[in-house]
Amino acid sequence: MEKQSVFIGAATALITPLDEKGVDFVQFGRLIDWQIERGIDALVICGTTGEGSTLSDEEHRAVLDFAVRRAAGRVPMIAGTGSNDVAYAVDLTRYACGVGYDGMLLVTPYYNKATQKGLIKSFTTVADASTKPCILYNVPSRTGVNIEPSTYAALADHPMISGIKEAGGNISKIAETASLVEGRLDIYSGNDDQIVPIMSLGGKGVISVLSNLLPAETSALCHMYLDGDSAGARRLQLKYMPLISALFCEVNPIPVKAAMAAMGFCRNYVRLPLTEMEDAHREHLYGLMRAEGLIK
């Protein structure tokens, strides 16, 4: 069975507007509409940037349900359903499939620090329960474990595992993975500072934090490269490096929440154990945003 790409280009790892009372669905709806109107290629809901790990189960499902209904088929929708509890990931994946998501994003089980054998069994268990394609998410700086290229290769023929979000940062490992899974798994950059490098290895795009602020521009970067304008894509990649750096000067999503609050899309509120951005970092970020015309 030939696998279909969940998306090609840029998918925003979307923030979840929160305040002391819970999820601000009015702002969330505005944000979803704006992202789609600005030409984003897909949206990821309840990922790391969406603070999925600190949403209650009721909130998580409500956010997933609201977002897919609001998007109403205008762009592919990807649900963050991974967990360190595989049974919970299975339940949430079944729920997201049922409410109409086009794909799942499955983060490496965190804290438990599974072996590679454990990763294979865990991802297979969730994918077996899914009726939609699954993108595996490797982010060892957060989870404490790395998905090895040989592990991707072992999972690549599963009919419901279609892609990889690679945020490991090791280009050599990603190149090795690309050589082992070519034609069987789509590779997406999970780091905004590596979009062009990963696309040069055959990547299909990015799951992006930057595109919360710049959906049209991040999508354009990807499609320039895909359309053969590698020089244009490289120029955009390098142009946005200072802003990308500022968005990751503290733990994501602390900076992007501050940025989106300044743009009027949410409160500058993150849930503990995250805290608001340090003043000096925030002013540096806002300066870069002013230079891009994002805020006054």
pLDDT score, position 230: 97
pLDDT score, position 183: 86
pLDDT score, position 179: 97
pLDDT score, position 110: 92
Residue ranges in the chain modelled with pLDDT below 50: none
DSSP helix/strand/coil, 157: coil
* pLDDT digits 0-9 by tens, 11-29: 999 999 999 999 999 999 9
pLDDT score, position 32: 98
Do 270 and 254 meet the contact criterion of CB atoms below 8 Å apart?
A: yes
Query: Would you tell me the crossing angle of helices 86-99 and 57-71 to the nearest 10 degrees?
Result: 30
* pLDDT digits 0-9 by tens, 222-269: 999 999 999 999 999 999 999 999 999 999 999 999 999 999 999 999
pLDDT score, position 1: 54
Both tokens assigned to 136: 């595996």
Q: Is 165 a catalytic residue?
A: yes
- CA-based diameter of the chain, in Å? 52
Q: Which of 3, 101, 132, 137 is catalytic?
A: 137
pLDDT score, position 173: 96
Q: Which of 165, 204, 225, 257 is catalytic?
A: 165
Instruction: Give the CATH number of domain 9-227.
Output: 3.20.20.70
pTM above 0.95, yes or no: yes
Break the chain into its structural domains and give their ranges. Answer: 9-227
DSSP helix/strand/coil, 231: helix
Within 10 A of 286 (CB to CB), how many other CB atoms are there? 17
Reported as type and span, the H/E element at residue 151 is helix 149-155
Do 41 and 10 meet the contact criterion of CB atoms below 8 Å apart?
A: yes
Q: Which residues contact 247 (CB under 8 A, 6 or more apart)?
A: 192, 209, 210, 213, 255, 256, 259, 285
Q: Which residues contact 23 (CB under 8 A, 6 or more apart)?
A: 16, 17, 55, 59, 62, 63
pLDDT score, position 271: 96
Distances (CA, A) of 155 to 120, 161, 189: 7, 7, 19
How far apart CA 214 and CA 151 sit, in angstroms, is 34
How far apart CA 49 and CA 155 sit, in angstroms, is 26
